[in-house]
Amino acid sequence: MKILLVEDEAGLILTLTDRLRSEGFDVRSATDGERGLSYALAESFDLIILDVMLPKRNGLDVCRDLRQKNVTTPILMLTARGETLDKVLGLKLGADDYLTKPFEMLELLARIEALLRRSPNTNGNTPDAFRFGDVSVDFRRAEVSKNNQPVELSAIEFKLLQFLIENRGAVHSRDKLLDAVWGYDAMPTTRTVDVHVAWLRQKLEANPKHPQFIQTVHGLGYKFIT
């Protein structure tokens, strides 16, 4: 597995690189946002660890630019303690998870493992393509369009949509979605699921306030119906 580490703290780069390599990962590092963006666009990585505060180009801008260029590699953002706005913006721009500095190495490894477990095609029930309403989903290309226009989804939004489609008709609790899509059950709050469902509805439903496909089952969770 190949990881891109974009971080400007020399000591942290050394510590993380040594530990990740000892865990069997191939690690490449960049010390500023522009170089990190260049590496991420030029090479294929299994995971990107991206600090928010970077010289030349901050991590939020790098995350946004990668998603706009349809790079769906999972992104784990590192944020400063108390910077709630950075966390929210990172998730909205397409990050899959975040970790607040300072952090324990074991927690970082657990989050990395969880993100790497969730590949786009882990379920045998996934068709090559699926259509509902005016929306078309190409699972092989990880592309979504609505009314023949491309729709930009973050990697986690795409995984959530894929899981719901694969298991359409069934009701899924927020805890189950956290475990199945995010890959672990240690998220700060199940509100994370609600936020991502709302973003999917905003992008895909004709009337997000009265969704036709991604429906709420009050007191239980969500289900996808066609």
The per-residue pLDDT for 124 is 42
The per-residue pLDDT for 203 is 95
CA dist 5 → 12, 36, 95, 147, 148 (Å): 10, 8, 14, 37, 36
pLDDT tens by residue, the chain, 226 residues: 789 999 999 999 999 999 998 888 889 999 999 999 999 988 888 899 999 989 999 989 999 999 888 888 889 988 876 666 666 777 888 888 888 888 888 888 888 888 887 645 334 444 578 888 899 998 877 889 999 899 999 888 998 999 999 888 888 888 888 888 877 554 546 688 899 999 999 999 999 999 999 999 988 899 998 7
The per-residue pLDDT for 85 is 65
Residue 27: count of CB within 10 angstroms of its CB? 19
Tokens of 85: 């706005």
Which domains does the chain carry? Answer: 2-117 (3.40.50.2300), 129-224 (1.10.10.10)
The per-residue pLDDT for 125 is 45
Euclidean distance between CA atoms 222 and 226, whole angstroms: 14
Residue 86: count of CB within 10 angstroms of its CB? 21
CA dihedral 57, 54, 184, 192 (to 10 degrees): -60
